[in-house]
Structure 1
Amino acid sequence: MDLPELSVRSQLLDAGFTDDEVRRLVRAGRLTPLRRGVYVEGSVPDDVLAKHVLQVEAALGQLADDAVVSHVSAAVLHGLRIWGIPLDRVHVTRSRRNGGRCGALVHVHTAPLDPAEIVTIGGRPVTSLARTIADLARSLPFERAVVLADAAMFHKRTDRLERAGLVEALARAPRWPGSPAARRVVAFANGLSESVGESRSRVALAAGLALPELQWEVRARDTGEFIGRVDFGWPGVRTVGEFDGLVKYGRTLRPDQDPVEVLVAEKLREDALRAEDLGVARWIWSDLNRFAPVAARIRSHFRPT
């Protein structure tokens, strides 16, 4: 992330600025308070993730040297997809038995940390990808934890996390609170989910349908010609499911391409799928909050086996 520079009041005073000058810089918009005694040059980013990275940087400057960025703050620094988790506090962990606290801006956790569970990102000490997911899977609701675990295992990540690494991370502390729930998350996680919507869809589908094949490559039955890759497939009952997050259409756009072209191409792709005697069911974000009608629609497309 290309982030603005931070300025700490004590450093500004050491550089010869007075408090009156600092206040004038704030009024002029050249400095914006980020937290008490810490300013960002210019304005605070609108992007909540970029803002959280700045908050992490500001917090670390005021915490003990053994504080390691952890939990959702570590997930942000690892570049994971995040859904439904507040970013109002910076989370850090100190490797000790007590001394934890949860304030308005910082949550200090205390728990054993092995040196192998600490990595460096942008010069900051951060819990490893495996330890980060283990911590969050022990403490978050199932659906939110699955979104994060899927993102960590995402097959296109250069540093993708293997399931074995997650199992090992949980095995280091098998009796910690939340461990049974975390093991359920790890068993369910799948690196083939390509978005928050697809991860949430998998959780919703598991409540009443057989789990589908992810990223199913559909080919013509007579020629073997590739027709398309679908989000979810039930090959045995000739049915496919697609989560329409809209953003995925934007990702496919070339700089010179009209969005209408992408929608037309998607319509032709769906026609080709139906021509292969495949039932096609689609759903959108709002459907994920009340999925039973979608599940019934998917089931109605199932062909007799």
Structure 2
Amino acid sequence: MSVLSAPRFAGFTSHELARLERQGDVVRLRRGHYLPADDCAVDPAARHRQLVEATLPLLAEGAVVSHLSAGVLHGLPVRGEQLQHVRVTRQPPGSGKRRGGVHVHVAPLDASDVISVDGLPVTSLARTVLDLGRTLPLTQAVAAGDAALRLGLRPAELAGSLDAARGWRGLPAARRTAALLDARSESAGESESRVILTQLGLAPTDLQFELLDGWGEFVGRVDFAWRDQRTLGEFDGRGKYDRLLAPGMAASDAVYFEKRREDALRDLGWELVRWGSADLAQLELFAERIRRALRRGSARAVRLTSPGAPRRPGA
């Protein structure tokens, strides 16, 4: 049940609704707007979408869903802890403000900047990536921008939005974001890893690198590769194993087949290093892990190319 179609709560007193909330029968999204507990989303992004639906009709005409809220409606990766406010943009004049769970931004909106998503006025993908690039940390902005490219955002559209925003606050950060975007990264974790590796001076040479054996048969595809150091890298997020699950396959099966794939890659003479979100939060330790892997991979490469050294299939 949508927030906007919950007439069963019409006519309830505030005391009755408070009692239902204490009992766990209803959840208050915002003042005056409740959902049956069974209909209230648990996922932060889905919950925020419900909050947007409840909030937008209360705002004066002209408010356009933007920034993180637009990211949610477009299906871009955003962090749940950043979704306390519904974010909207209005045309000038005026000033930005936060009140009643709404964060109002004031900035020019061209007609091409506004589209309809499920009947709601929302900034376009290009404008949303521009706004997120101006306001989010670089790693998070790039993750959102990469996802937008995968959803069909054309680089030329984003370039046009950047040109139209000359003089805006945060534009240099948005330009840095745009310069780093790459649709080949398949998850927010891969995107953030790529940015961090670049900042550490450890940028990989290849993304979504495919390996073949000595007979030309496909062995596997990995997130990152450093070819000269004969090293492969994989970001391990929960979504990776979800994508590996075929119909009827148990999670343990996916882990088993992933382990077999990893063994096959190492049999080709490559070093393989894995990391997750927790590793990215400890930059010095993460950088040292990558450097150690690159040193081991380089040593493998030397052994495999030394005169008289036996060559493995696929080397």
In the TM superposition, residue 150 of structure 1 has moved relative to its aligned partner by 1.2
Provide the secondary structure at the position in 2 that maps to 1:236: coil
Q: 1:122 aligned to 2:115? A: no
1:270 maps to: 262
Going from structure 1 to structure 2, the CA distance change for 1:253 and 1:139 (only over 3 Å counts) comes to same
Provide the secondary structure at the position in 2 that maps to 1:60: helix
How many Å separate the matches in 1 of 2:36 and 2:288? 50
In the TM superposition, residue 30 of structure 1 has moved relative to its aligned partner by 4.9
Amino acid at match of 2:46: A
What's the % identity of the aligned pairs? 46
Going from structure 1 to structure 2, the CA distance change for 1:26 and 1:47 (only over 3 Å counts) comes to same
How many Å separate the matches in 1 of 2:294 and 2:15? 68
Going from structure 1 to structure 2, the CA distance change for 1:104 and 1:297 (only over 3 Å counts) comes to farther
Which one of the candidate residues 3, 6, 10 is aligned to 1:5? 3
How many Å separate the matches in 1 of 2:203 and 2:291? 13
Which one of the candidate residues 163, 168, 183 is aligned to 1:176? 168
RMSD: 2.4
How many Å separate the matches in 1 of 2:90 and 2:72? 19
In the TM superposition, residue 33 of structure 1 has moved relative to its aligned partner by 2.1
In the TM superposition, residue 104 of structure 1 has moved relative to its aligned partner by 4.7
Query: How many pairs align?
Result: 294
2:131 maps to: 135
Is the 8 Å Cα contact of residues 7 and 40 (structure 1) preserved in structure 2?
no
Going from structure 1 to structure 2, the CA distance change for 1:270 and 1:5 (only over 3 Å counts) comes to same
Amino acid at match of 2:221: R
Going from structure 1 to structure 2, the CA distance change for 1:196 and 1:262 (only over 3 Å counts) comes to same
Which has the larger share of helix?
Answer: 2
Amino acid at match of 1:58: A
Q: Deviations over 1:257-298 (max 9, x none)?
A: 233322222222112212222121112222111222222123
2:70 maps to: 74
Is the 8 Å Cα contact of residues 48 and 83 (structure 2) preserved in structure 1?
yes
Q: Deviations over 1:172-215 (max 9, x none)?
A: 01211111111111000111111121111112211121333111
How many Å separate the matches in 1 of 2:76 and 2:252? 30
1:219 maps to: 212
How many Å separate the matches in 1 of 2:243 and 2:249? 11
The residue correspondences of 1:29-178 to structure 2 (distance < 5 A) are 30-43=25-38, 44-83=40-79, 86-154=82-150, 157=151, 160-178=152-170
Amino acid at match of 1:215: Q
How many Å separate the matches in 2 of 1:292 and 1:229? 23
Is the 8 Å Cα contact of residues 97 and 112 (structure 1) preserved in structure 2?
no
TM-score by length of 2: 0.85
Provide the secondary structure at the position in 2 that maps to 1:153: helix
How many Å separate the matches in 2 of 1:23 and 1:140? 36
How many Å separate the matches in 1 of 2:80 and 2:220? 31
Provide the secondary structure at the position in 1 that maps to 2:27: strand
Going from structure 1 to structure 2, the CA distance change for 1:168 and 1:255 (only over 3 Å counts) comes to same
20-29 or 71-80, larger mean C-alpha shift: 20-29
Is the 8 Å Cα contact of residues 6 and 40 (structure 1) preserved in structure 2?
no
Is the 8 Å Cα contact of residues 147 and 200 (structure 1) preserved in structure 2?
yes
In the TM superposition, residue 101 of structure 1 has moved relative to its aligned partner by 1.1
List gaps (5 residues or longer) in structure 1. none
Is the 8 Å Cα contact of residues 7 and 38 (structure 1) preserved in structure 2?
no
List gaps (5 residues or longer) in structure 2. 306-315
Is the 8 Å Cα contact of residues 83 and 196 (structure 1) preserved in structure 2?
no
Amino acid at match of 1:231: D
Is the 8 Å Cα contact of residues 134 and 173 (structure 2) preserved in structure 1?
yes
112-121 or 237-246, larger mean C-alpha shift: 237-246
Amino acid at match of 2:208: Q
Going from structure 1 to structure 2, the CA distance change for 1:254 and 1:76 (only over 3 Å counts) comes to same
How many Å separate the matches in 2 of 1:26 and 1:258? 38
Is the 8 Å Cα contact of residues 63 and 88 (structure 2) preserved in structure 1?
yes
